[in-house]
Amino acid sequence: MKKFLMMAALSAGLMFSACAGNKGDNDNNAATEADGSKVLVAYYSATGTTAKAADEIAKATGGTLYEIEPEQKYSDADLDYENENSRSAVENKNPDMRPAIKTGLDVAPYETVYLGFPVWWDKAPLVVNTFLDSYDFSGKKIIVFATAHSSGLKPSFEALKATYPSLDLIEGKILNITSEDSFHEWVKGL
């Protein structure tokens, strides 16, 4: 009988700790900043540069990292800026295009969204517009950051602001080669 009671107590303890450990799952695993707001770091990265910046922001904020994935990935030929018939060049000439993306994100629990992308022809790639069109971002603060070889953020930020005037878009910065400490300093300064 003692052995049975000990096993029952052990089982009850394990069940209690398992239930307590899953508490965050009911909240969609949304990461919480020190001020209590939930943070999402959403990004599109064609070559991995923007992914690195997004990863550092997620570390600095404690945010949830989310990759904006096109249903049809961009190949090297698609990204050939010198070829006016490449996929990215054709999309650049047709700003109303919305390349399909893989969806399945619940943005409801997030209050702050860091939105990152590589700058293409002084604009965000249109997959970013598809992302913004796919979810309800009303009432959320969206901090825009980007990576670029020679462009600044302002033209692409202004284009997004013109396309989405009802969203609370905040101009961030270009984050090409930055140290981990500088990401933390930038995030704290916002």
> Whole-model pTM above 0.95?
no
Please tell me whether residue 79 adopts helix, strand or coil conformation: coil
- Mean of pLDDT over the chain: 82
* pLDDT at residue 63 tops 90: yes
- Between 109 and 184, the more confident residue is 109
The beta-strand segments (E) located in 15-155 are: 31-32, 38-43, 64-67, 112-118, 141-147
Specify the pLDDT at position 14. Answer: 30
Q: Which two tokens stand for residue 29?
A: 């695993």
Confirm if 124 and 46 have CB atoms less than 8 A apart: no
- Between 111 and 32, the more confident residue is 111
pLDDT mean over 110-134: 96
Residue at 107: amino acid letter = V
CA angle 44, 47, 48 (to 5 degrees): 70
Please tell me whether residue 142 adopts helix, strand or coil conformation: strand
Terminal alpha carbon distance of the chain: 62
- In tens, the pLDDT along 162-181 reads 999 999 999 999 998 665 66
Is beta strand 38-43 parallel, antiparallel or unpaired with respect to 64-67? parallel
Looking up tokens 């916002």, which residue turns up? 190
CB proximity list for 33: less than 8 A, separation 6 or greater: 39, 61, 62, 63, 112
What are φ and ψ of residue 47, in 5° steps?
-120, -5
* pLDDT at residue 45 tops 60: yes
Beta bridge partners of 118: 147
Confirm if 111 and 38 have CB atoms less than 8 A apart: yes
Centroid of chain to Cα 84 = 29
